[in-house]
Structure formats: structure tokens, C-alpha cells
A and B are shown apart, each in its own frame.
Chain A
Amino acid sequence: MNIAAAVNENFANYSNYLIRSAMFVYALAFLGHLAEWVFGGRSKVAVQSAALIGESGEEGAAAAPAAAVKVTTRGGTATLTRPKVVTRASASDRGIADGPGAAGGSEKGDLYGRIAVSFTVLAWLLHFGGVALRAASVQRAPWGNMYEFSTTFGMVAVGAYLLLLALKKDVRWIGLFLTTTVLLDLGLALSVLYTSSDQLVPALHSYWLWIHVSCAIISGAVFYLAAVGSLLYLFRDHFEVALTAGRAQDGRWGDIMRRLPSAATLDKFAYRMNALVFPLWTFTIIAGAIWAQAAWGHYWEWDPKETWSFITWVAYAGYLHARATAGWKGRKAAYLALAAFACFLFNYYGVNIFVTGKHSYAGV
């Protein structure tokens, strides 16, 4: 153990500069997304294209509950064209297509959106550098206290979002929410949770710190993206119900809603994200139990942190069940997902701050 290892003050300072710069650039990205939303929908082009899409939609709707045209042609020689595949809507699909995104189909809005994404990439690189330098300054995993946990958490959430964008997933609609929350997260971390870089208490000296905590951070970040999806799903679902009931949905709110992906898409996005990390969250808890066994001699003691991890886990299991149970799909399942994420947040902030247990090394 290199306990005596002097903390490299320089690295720590640079890390702080980088995090502050990242915040600045995130703020630019935030403004970019704001501009995308504000200028996107209003433009003439957007209205026109919406009308166009609406037209073809009517025809599709006459056919079956749904018709979104997605033509895939790929393939080699002329004779080997890939045959097209007809897909049929399922029960939960209203046949309402995804909105065009925040830009609302307008070129100007789209430009702002692209600028915002570029800023996000730059901010993320700064953010990443900040976290890495922090790790270098203390020569350990950069998540020994709540400040470090928060900065890494935000970094992973944005990283996951950028990864989805890189995989050509249509997720730019999260951008505004994500930049807002990352700014809040980093602001909170720097102002309230800040702890100067330092060594760890002996209880945290274990390679399980790397495994257990990094998995917790990744799980949390992806759960967060899913929660944004669920929240927007609830709004958009509300909007679609009103639409199909024939109630006019004009005005600002309707304009925003209209540009979001369809409720079915949002719901599916939330489900996929949650289902993707649920096994990782399960592993996080098990890794924590193994560590507890090594450190304290019991793998499970109902310590508040363990208890809330368990509650979170059961809540997400409930969500997955709800999705498979008739009568609980859709809105009810989305409420469950949000409740489960609230449990995750409480486990992180609430338990660290209000409840004392063996995990109380938060540095607050």
C-alpha cells in the first residue's frame, strides 16, 4: 500500500480546471439544444414537412393500425436484392410515428442540434480528462467519495449517450435533459460535495472498489437514461391519448410533444436500457456482497446501503415483471421504472447523507 504516497496537488488542480471547463462547454451545449428546440419547431420548413409526413401517415393508417415506411435495400448484385420485409404493428403501437426530433425537421434547428452535440463531445472529453487526472492525482480509482462519484457518474451518463449516438441510434432528444442534469450534477459536486483529493480510508483499499463501484456507476448512468425515457414516455403517451381522442394539441406544449419520438419508441427505449443494465446491477450487488464478506465477514448484513440496493433491485425486477404482465404495461410500468430510479437516487444521496451505516465514508 502506498499510503504515504503524496497526493499530487498539481494533477488535482488541473482536474478541477478541466471539470470547470467541461461545465462551461456543457453549458454551451445546453444553449445549443435550447436553440434547437426553440428555433426548430417554429420554422416554416418544419410545419410543411410535418404536414407531408402526416399525409402519408393517413394512408398507412387506413391500412392497419400503423404504417411507418422504412425501406431497407442492401445487397450485392442486381439479382441479389434484399427482399423487403413487411412488418405489422403490435397492440401497443398506436401507429403514430416518431416525431422528427427537437429540430422539428428544420435545417436551422438541426444545425443548432449538431452544434450542441459537438459541444457535448468536447465537454465530455474535458470531463473525461478531469476524472482521469483526479485518478492520477490520488493513484487510485476516482470514486472514493461523493464528489468523485458524482463527477464520474455524469461522465458515464454522457458517455453512454454519445455511444448511442455513435451507434446511429436516434437519441438526440435526450440531449437537452442530459446537458441540464449533468450541469446540475457537476455544479452540486463542485459546490456541495467537494472533497479535495486524498487517500482512502483503509476500508476502501481493495480491488473490489474498482469492480463494485464502477459497475454501480455504469448501472446508475444507464438507469438514468432509461428514466428520462420513461418520463418523456409518460408525457408523450398523455399527448397521444389526447390526439387520438381528437382533442387538439396545439400550443407550446403540443409543439414540444410532437417532436418527441412516439410513446411506443420511448417505452421501448426505456425498457431496453433498463433490461440492458439490470444484470449489471445484479452483479454490482453480488460484487458488493463479496467485498463485504472480505472486509467485514458477512456478505449481507442489511446495512442501509445494502438494503437500498436490494430495494432498487426488487423495484427494477418489479418493472420487468410489469412489462410482461397484462394490465401493467405502459404507464403503470413506467411509473414503476421511475420509482425504481428514485430508489437508486435515494440510495446514493439519501443514504449517504441522512443514514449512517458502514458505508458512511462519503466525505460529507
Chain B
Amino acid sequence: MSSFVFAWYSLCRQPARAVLAIAGVAVIGALLFDMLLLSQGMLISFRGLLGEVGFDARVMATSSMPMTGARVGDAAATAAAIEALEEIEVVIPMRIDQAEVVLSERRPMDFTLVGSISGHGAWTVIDGADINQRKADGDASTIVVNRNLASALNLSPGQTVTVRSECLGRRSILPTVEFEVVGIATFPFDSESQLTAAATIADFDRACGGEQDQADLFLVASRSRVTAEAAVEAIQQLRPDLYVFSNDQLVDRFERVGFSYFRQISTVLATVTLTFAFLLISVLLSVSVNQRFAEIAALRAIGFGRRRVAADLVWESGLMVSIGGVLALPLGLALAIWLDRILKSMPGIPADLHFFVVQPQAVLLHIALLATAGALAAGYPVYLASRLPIASTLRNEVVG
């Protein structure tokens, strides 16, 4: 009978202990799995989100987040100069500010107004049409709204909204501007409950009281033959006064500044869960070995070597950890989905950003860490069993 089969019989012999151990490992393993997903998830998701938008560099006036720092002046000329670089394919200036929809029968509703150029992926129209430049003074300004704003105001393409912009951080005294809603769009960095709309830069400026020629940031796409780093370097040489970041640099910065807390928390909690797994298996196996001292001594007496006794226990630990570890994966996944939903409800977190992202590396690391914990946990029981004095154990058992 192989050690594996023997361990399986030993496990089945005490079903309550086995269920307790496996359930314990499954719960602890689920937490460990979630911590491993959390340790990288947000970074992976953030990188993916940046990549999905289709731009590989961002240009800003300061190193602060957009809307929190100074704006770039001479936006049109700056965009044109950057776009003229041979490394650059396209440059999209972006203005972002707060505005409100003026409603006749209730309080105004605040939303984020984006001013940019249509058709480049800064948003995606899912119903109706995209915004377009007014051709004559009498033409209506057009706007696309996100689902949240559309459903909050029951808007659909063809309707009109009255908007008052909050440019330069204070309520504008300028007259309100009428916008025709031409479409419903999704914005990649919107949070779950965010209200957002986008208009052309000209219409954005009109809402802000006239031409401002400023940009909060420029989204830059490099040519396919050029790396993002080369594009960043070229822009930096052209405009050393501006801050230019590739997607990787943004992710690195995010990892160092905002994400390090998550990594530290996940490392601490992963260590704690592993320690729990180690203690649980070690205690249960040690108790089991203590209860079976006489039986182990008898096995040794009939010729089972120390290695064989050790192998039986390592397999028993391995079975508990592997069954519990496998159960931990779906359990951890369900827990991750639930926790992700809770964390994403924090204000300002993009709805498409995930805190927990399943990666093959995380699954492999989960398996490796649990296997190591299981092997280490078997250490003390193995020591007890293999060093058991056969004769005195048999003698004490009979006398006892």
C-alpha cells in the first residue's frame, strides 16, 4: 500500500477531523488567493485600462492628476507641435471640469464635462451619434452623455439639456448653454456612479465663457514603428517644461505612490493566512499523531521505516492542503468578486478598474505557497512520529 493510499485511508478514518482541516484550509486558502490577486490586481487592471484606451503617452502641465494641477496653455499650438513630431501619430487635447445641468423643477445636477475631439477613443458611443463641430453660429452644440447621466435625467438622443459650466473653480456668471444630446457613450475612467458628458473643445470653451485654448492633458498615440518610450523622449525634448508619461511610467508611478499600500496590506495578510494554514495543519496532524502513537510504534515494530512513516504524514498533510487548496479557488474567486464590488463603490474608482484580477501566476503562487505551508506543517508531526521510541511507547500503552 503506497504512502498516498495509506494517507488517504488515514484521512478518511477521522472524517470530522478531515472535514475540519479541509474546510479550514479552503477558507484560509481563499483569503490567501484573494491577497495574491489583490497584490497585483489593481496594477494589472490599471495597465489594461490604459492600454484599452489606445493612447500610449500622456502630456500634462504638472505631475499631478488631471483637474488637480495647472493646465497647459496654447493647447492647439502645443497639440499641433507635438503631432508634427515624426514619432507621433495623433494628439488629443482634453479639458475636464465640473458643470451642472440646469433643471426647471429641481436642483441642478452636477456632472463631469469633458471637452475633446471625437472619434479617437476617449469615449465610445453606444447609442445615437458622436459630437460634431458646429458649422454655423445658429447650429446647436452637441453633447454625448454617459448611461448614468442619461438615466438620471431620462435623456435620449435628440433631447436638449441646459448646462452651466463651473470653469476655474467658481460658478460662472455667464449664461447657460443649450446642448443637444446626440448620443450615449461610455467613458473608460468613469466610476460606477459618475455622471459624465463630452462636448467638443469649442463647445466646452463656449460653456466656459469663450475661447480659452487650454488643456488639462493631451492623449498621445505614437506611430506603430515607434516605442512609447521614444515618443515620450521626443515630446520631452520638444517641450521640457511639460510632464510626459508613457503608460508604463504611469503604472510605475501608481505602483510607487498609490498602490504600495495595497501591496503591503496584501503581503501582511497573505503572511498571516499562511501562518494560520501552517498552524491549523500542524496542530491537527500533531493531535492525530499523538492519538496514534501506539499504532505508529506498532507499525515501526513490524518494520515500517522512519521514512515511510514520515512519507505517510507528508502525504496526509498534502491531501488536506491540496483538497482544501482546490476548494479555495472557487471560494476565493467568489469572495474576490464580492470584495471587488465593495471596493469599487469607493468614490473616484473607475468602474472598469478591478482590485482582484485572476492571473495564472497568482494561481501558481497560491499552489506553491500552500504546498510549502503543508510541507512545513508536516514537519513537527513527522518529527514526533519518526523519532518515536518504539519499545517505550508500546510498553507505556500496555501499562496505560
- Co-complex (A, B): no
